[in-house]
Amino acid sequence: MINFEDELKKFHPSLEVEEAEEAIYNKDLTDMADVLVKLVKEAEDTKTQE
């Protein structure tokens, strides 16, 4: 049985056009490639220190 109150909590206000710019700037664009590069760099740094 659907609970109206619980279901209503799943709905969130939609972003307005004026808020789009801020949303773009705040978007986390980190991807797996960034993580890989970071890991490789950290590994190289560790080797260098050793």
Applying CB under 8 A, the residues found at the interface with other proteins are 1-2, 4, 7-8, 10-20, 23-24, 27, 29-34, 36-37, 40
| In the complex, minimum distance from the CB of residue 27 to other proteins, in angstroms, rounded to a whole number | 7
* DSSP 8-state symbol, 16: P
| Angle at 27 (CA atoms; ends 23, 32), nearest 5 degrees | 165
Q: Are 15 and 23 in contact (CB under 8 A)?
A: yes
Cβ closest to other proteins, residue 14 vs residue 49: 14
Cβ closest to other proteins, residue 2 vs residue 49: 2
